[in-house]
Amino acid sequence: MFKGITKRWVLNTLCAIVAVIVLVVVSLSYVVSTYYYSSVEQNLNGRSVEFANILSGFRSDMDQTFTSTARDYVENSPHKERMEITVLSHSGDILVTSTGFTPDKEEPMPDYESARNSSSGYAKWVGKLSSGEKVTAVTRIVKSSDGNTICAVRYVSSMEATDKLLFAAIAIFIAIGLVVIALVILSGTYFIRSIVRPVRVISDTAKKIAQGDFNAKIDKMYDDEIGDLCDSINDMAKELGASERMKNDFISSVSHELRTPLTAIKGWAETMHGTELPDKATFDKGIDIIVKESTRLTGIVEELLDFSRMQNESMILRFEKLDILAELDEVLYMMRDRAISEGKHLLYDQPESMPAIMADKNKLKQVFLNIVDNALKYTPAEGVVGIQVLSESQSVRVIVTDTGCGIAPDDLPRVKDKFFKANQSVRGSGIGLAIADEIVQKHGGNLEIESGIGVGTTVTITLPVANS
C-alpha cells in the first residue's frame, strides 16, 4: 500500500506517534477514572466515619434511643438524595435505611461481609446491583468504647453520574488524540509530498542526463536542501554538456591536426611516385616536407600519449642534473627558423650561467617547446616573443612574453584545463598547457600565466634549483 519514503515515515514516525498518543490517552483515562472513583469512595468513607462516631456513643443497638438517633441522622442527612444510607444491626438486619425500603435480601453486599471480617472494620465494594446499576458501597463497623460491635453503617452511591462524566472526559481525550493524529498525518503527507515529488523529478532528469540529454534542467521548487540538490544537478548537466562539447571539439581538432601533415605527406609521396620522376630540387623539397611533417605528426602523437599517461598517472620522469640554458638553447634553435619564416621577432638575452636544476631533459624541452610554440602561434607577423631567464635564491625562472592576441580574463583561469581552447580557429588540441602544467608541477615548480587582450601574454615557469 505504502512505498518508499512514505512507507518509512508510516513505520518510523506515524506508528511511534500513534503509539505515544494511545499510551497518553489510556494513561490519562486510567488516572482520571481512578481519581473519580477514589473521590466517591473518600466521600462515602468520610460520611461513614462521621455517622459511626455518632453511633459509637451507644452501648448496643438495643439502647432505647439508638434507633431514633440513627433514623434522625439519616433522615436529616443532606446527602440522602445522592446516596443510600443504611444502619445494620449486630446480626446484619437492616435497622434504618434512607430510602425507606428494605433492600432485597438477594442484593450482593460483599462490603458488609468484608468489613465484618476485616480488622479495620471497613470495606468497600464497586459492582453492579441486580438491577444492573453500578454502585460504590462502603461499610463501616461501629464499635462502642469498650470494643463491642454495636452495628454497621453502609453508604451506597450510584456510579452512573460519575461514569457519565468519566466517559465524557475519556471521549474528549480520544477526540484530542484523533485530532492530533489527523494533524500529524496531514502535515506528514504535505512534508512527504514536498520531498517525494521533487525527488521524482530529480531522478527523471538524472536519467535523461545519463542518456546524454545535457540540456535537461530542473526547475528549483524549494529554497532548501532539495533546492541545492536541483542546483547541483543543473550545474552537473551544464558541466557535462560543456565537457562533452570540449571532447567533440578535441576530437575534431586532433583529427584536423593529424590530417594536415598527412595530406602534405600523401601529396608529396604521390608526386614522387608519379609516372615522371621529379627533378632533384623538387625531390629534395618533397623529402624535406615529408620529414618535417612526419616529425610534426610524431610530436602530436607524443603529446597525445603524454596526455593519456597524465590521465592514467603513469607519466614517469627521469630526473638528472641539467643546465637549463643548454636545454632552452636547443628549443630556441629549433624555433628560430620558424620565427623568421613567419616574420616574428624571437628575442633571447642569454645570461652567462644559471644554477643547475634537477629535471627530466625531454619533458622540460617539451614544456619550453609548447610555451614558445604558443607564443609564436598566437602572435601576428612583426610581433615580438621574448625569452628571459632569471635566477633567484632557490629557483630559476623562465619568462616567455609575447605581443600576441592575449587571453580574455574569463578564459584565463581555464587555459590550463585539458581540452580548453580559447580560440577555436587556431590549430591546436587544447591539451598542451595542461600537460606543461602537470610536468612543471611534477618538477616541484609552477607555471603562471598573465595576459591581457591585445596586450600579449606572459608565461612564467619557476623551477627549483638542484641541491648541490
Residues at the contact surface with ligand ADP, assessed by CB under 6 A: 370, 374-375, 378, 402, 404-407, 415, 420-423, 428-434, 457
Q: Which residue number, 65 or 441, has a Cβ lying nearer to ligand ADP?
A: 441
Q: How far apart are CA 457 and CA 416, in angstroms?
A: 14
| Nearest-approach distance from CB 373 to ligand ADP, in angstroms | 8
Q: Which residue number, 286 or 406, has a Cβ lying nearer to ligand ADP?
A: 406
Beta-ladder partners of 114:
none
| Nearest-approach distance from CB 255 to ligand ADP, in angstroms | 14
Grid cell of 197 as nine digits? 515529488
CA distances to 366, 368, 375 from 345, in Å: 21, 17, 11
Q: Which residue number, 96 or 385, has a Cβ lying nearer to ligand ADP?
A: 385
Grid cell of 132 as nine digits? 444492573
Q: Which residue number, 176 or 422, has a Cβ lying nearer to ligand ADP?
A: 422
Q: Are 88 and 151 in contact, with CB atoms under 8 Å apart?
A: yes
Residue nearest to ligand ADP (CB): 428
| Nearest-approach distance from CB 287 to ligand ADP, in angstroms | 28
CA distances to 7, 17, 89, 195, 252 from 4, in Å: 5, 19, 74, 11, 46
Residue type, 356: A
| Nearest-approach distance from CB 421 to ligand ADP, in angstroms | 4
| CA 41 to chain centroid | 59
User: 345-348 and 384-391: which strand pairing?
Assistant: parallel
Grid cell of 416 as nine digits? 590550463
Q: Which residue number, 276 or 410, has a Cβ lying nearer to ligand ADP?
A: 410
Q: Which residue number, 28 or 246, has a Cβ lying nearer to ligand ADP?
A: 246
Q: Which phi and psi (to 5°) does residue 46 adopt?
A: -60, -45
Residue type, 88: L
| Nearest-approach distance from CB 361 to ligand ADP, in angstroms | 21
DSSP sequence for 250-294 = HHHHHHHHHHHHHHHHHHHHHHHTSSSPPPHHHHHHHHHHHHHHH
| Nearest-approach distance from CB 381 to ligand ADP, in angstroms | 15
- Short-list 429, 464, 428, CA closest to 446: 464
| Nearest-approach distance from CB 370 to ligand ADP, in angstroms | 6
Q: Which residue number, 359 or 434, has a Cβ lying nearer to ligand ADP?
A: 434
| Nearest-approach distance from CB 308 to ligand ADP, in angstroms | 15
| Nearest-approach distance from CB 264 to ligand ADP, in angstroms | 19
Beta-ladder partners of 117:
none
DSSP sequence for 154-171 = EEEEE-HHHHHHHHHHHH
Q: Are 205 and 218 in contact, with CB atoms under 8 Å apart?
A: yes
Q: Number of C-alpha atoms within 13 angstroms, CB side, residue 34?
A: 6
Q: Which residue number, 86 or 460, has a Cβ lying nearer to ligand ADP?
A: 460
Q: Which residue number, 83 or 405, has a Cβ lying nearer to ligand ADP?
A: 405
